[in-house]
Amino acid sequence: MATVIQAYQFALDPTPRKHGSLASHAGAALFAYNWGLELVTARLDQRRAGQDVQVPWRLPELRREWNRAKCQVAPWWQANSKEAYNSGLDALARALKNWSDSRSSRRKGRPVGFPRRKKKRRARVACRFTTGQIKVLPDRKHVQLPRIGVVRTHESTRKLARRLEQGTARILAATISRRVDRWYVSFTVEVQRAIPTSYGKPSVVGVDVGVRHLAVLSTGQTVANPRTLEGSLRKLRRLNRELARRKPGSKHWNRTRRRLGRVHARAANLRRDALHKLTSALATEHGTVVVERLNVAGMVRNRRLARAIADSGLGELRRLLAYKSTWYGCRLVVADRFYPSSKTCSGCGWVKAKLTLAERTFTCETCGLVINRDLNAARNLARLVESVRGADQKPQRAGQVAVKREAGTGSDPDKTGIVEPQGLTA
Ligand SMILES: [Zn+2]
């Protein structure tokens, strides 16, 4: 048995009153964030002007300043749990740390800018509760949160409720957040899991994530997109065209944008659900799973819808595989970013100079192999491992955080449980 940290997220169906309470807490977090940012900026200016002032930078200092000022700046503060303000200040402390780490090159990746003021409409507002009454009610249709009280869930909480009843899970925190027009609660849960101590199966599978299909496996199996997702993707394309025709800022433009946001959220949910099923199957049925490394910097800049969807799918697939592989005793190998999985012939190893995204079939000019592009890529990924087999690697286990980065958890989903094949990184 090992202890892992897992997240369970449920969509909520709040009554109008509860809705107001949820919004108030998220708004309070946002308020504290912006208030703290203003304070830090003002203090930095004072210091630059030669004054000897303390600049609150970490959470304890920010909290101290907030407690001193709250009665003045937010006389209504008692309307919300103090954890709401804490969530906002925590997010700020983290943003400040990211900025200073990035400046002193302690943080990899693209440079992080100085935190900016969050706008109510754009911000991902969230409030995290760590103490008080946090419960999943036995009817499996309601959850209880501090200050907010009992809220109905949109879906059954049975997966978590079952574990809580068995005594194999303990709730550590609950985070409420809103995406598009729906509220969610995400529980951070400490779960006791039986984790295999050795790799069981010898089979290796390469996975290529696409747009036309959810994934193509090196075994030749094509995992289709769920039909509901296909519908959403069609709608997405139509609304995108519609938005391009509208005058920016107009009433119709805004309406189309709101619709687009809703369809986007639905497509993302459907896709995530399908990816959950796929990754569970992969991790339980195979000994080794090979996926491509995601080019995150390129992903952010690419504006093509199809590409963006495929990339987000790959990112999600990797995140899910990262923790499921440790749960089920399977090895996850991530191919180097520069490994030409699409351009290489899986038959003879010949590398094509150029392969456009439109070319759906790979034709080898050396051995004459004609093969579906995605299947070729998946086979190359699988081959990658067969060539480095023997380099013994152990799975990471215990204390893993298999959740999105959320206030207070401080985990990097990109680093969770990834086992790197040796000698593959350029
Ligand atoms: Zn060939």
Q: Which of 65, 90, 374, 406 is catalytic?
A: 374
How much of the chain exceeds pLDDT 70, in percent?
84
Separation of CA 345 and ligand 1 centre (Å):
5
Angle, CA of 345, 340 and 212, to the nearest 5°: 80
Q: Which of 90, 292, 316, 406 is catalytic?
A: 292
Q: What is the mean pLDDT of the chain?
A: 83
Separation of CA 185 and ligand 1 centre (Å):
51
Q: Picking from 69-78, 114-123, 252-261, 391-400, which range would have the lowest pLDDT averaged per residue?
A: 391-400
For residue range 352-398, what is the model confidence (pLDDT) as tens digits? 888 887 788 999 999 989 999 989 999 999 988 876 554 444 333 33
Query: Is 0.85 topped by the overall pTM?
Result: no
List the shell of residues around ion ligand 1, using CB closer than 5 Å: 345, 347-348, 350, 364, 366-367, 369
Q: Which of 208, 311, 316, 406 is catalytic?
A: 208
Separation of CA 366 and ligand 1 centre (Å):
5
Q: Is the pLDDT of residue 345 over 60?
A: yes
Active site residue 374: yes
Separation of CA 37 and ligand 1 centre (Å):
58
Separation of CA 264 and ligand 1 centre (Å):
40
Angle, CA of 143, 188 and 329, to the nearest 5°: 125
Give residue 300's pLDDT: 47
Separation of CA 333 and ligand 1 centre (Å):
24
Angle, CA of 105, 108 and 111, to the nearest 5°: 70
Active site residue 311: no
How much of the chain exceeds pLDDT 90, in percent?
46
Active site residue 292: yes
